[in-house]
């Protein structure tokens, strides 16, 4: 089993986004949402800068059946590997992070954008993630994020 830097992993933000969308601007931040924000504070504060450039170590890690990413284990499926390598070179992203993008984009119902080629589909998914980070910067209570940053 290959092992890569834990910073290459990020948790999906689907639940966090839903919680933020359902939050009333006048309500207090629920403890569960505050905890989710704290758990993801590095990704929230550093946004897309935590996506790394391609690396030989990550590329070689995808030759293994499993990749250890911090406390997370990724099972490498051949059907996603080739596309991940194309995504890596097209978007100049780390190969393991590209693999995660490919795997997660294939988990979602893409029937409305099924006409897109796989490369475009994953690029679209990466755009959605990047856009989500931008929305957080604009719409989340900036004072809360700053306060959270100071506490860390």
pLDDT digits (tens, 9 = 90+) for 47-94: 667 889 999 999 999 999 999 999 999 999 988 898 889 888 887 889
Domain with 121, as residue range(s), is: 2-23+31-151
**46: pLDDT strictly greater than 80:** no
Is residue 148 scored above 50 in pLDDT?
A: no
When the pLDDT of each residue in the chain is averaged and rounded to a whole number, the result is 75
For residues 68 and 93, the answer to whether their CB atoms sit within 8 Å is no
- Which of 32-36, 125-129, 139-143 bottoms out in mean pLDDT, i.e. has the lowest? 139-143
Burial call 43-64: b when 16+ CB within 10 Å, e when fewer: bbbebeebbbebbeebbebbee
The radius of gyration of the chain's CA atoms, rounded to the nearest angstrom, is: 17
**131: DSSP letter:** H
Q: How many domains, the chain?
A: 1
Nearest to 100 by CA among 67, 131, 53: 67
Q: In the chain, helix, strand, coil percent, each to 5?
A: 65, 5, 30
């Amino acid at each position: 089993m290959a092992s890569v830097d834990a910073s290459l992993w990020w948790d999906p933000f689907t639940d966090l986004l839903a919680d933020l969308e359902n939050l009333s601007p006048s309500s207090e931040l629920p403890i569960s949402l505050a905890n989710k924000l704290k758990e993801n504070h590095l990704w929230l504060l550093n946004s897309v800068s935590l996506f790394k450039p391609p690396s030989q170590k990550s590329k070689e890690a995808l030759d293994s059946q499993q990749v250890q990413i911090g406390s997370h284990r990724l099972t490498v499926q051949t059907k996603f590997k080739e596309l991940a390598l194309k995504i890596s070179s097209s978007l100049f992203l780390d190969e393991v992070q590209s693999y995660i993008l490919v795997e997660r984009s294939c988990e979602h119902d893409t029937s409305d954008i099924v006409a897109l080629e796989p490369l475009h589909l994953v690029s679209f998914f990466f755009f959605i993630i990047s856009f989500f980070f931008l929305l957080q910067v604009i719409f989340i209570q900036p004072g809360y994020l700053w306060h959270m940053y100071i506490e860390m």
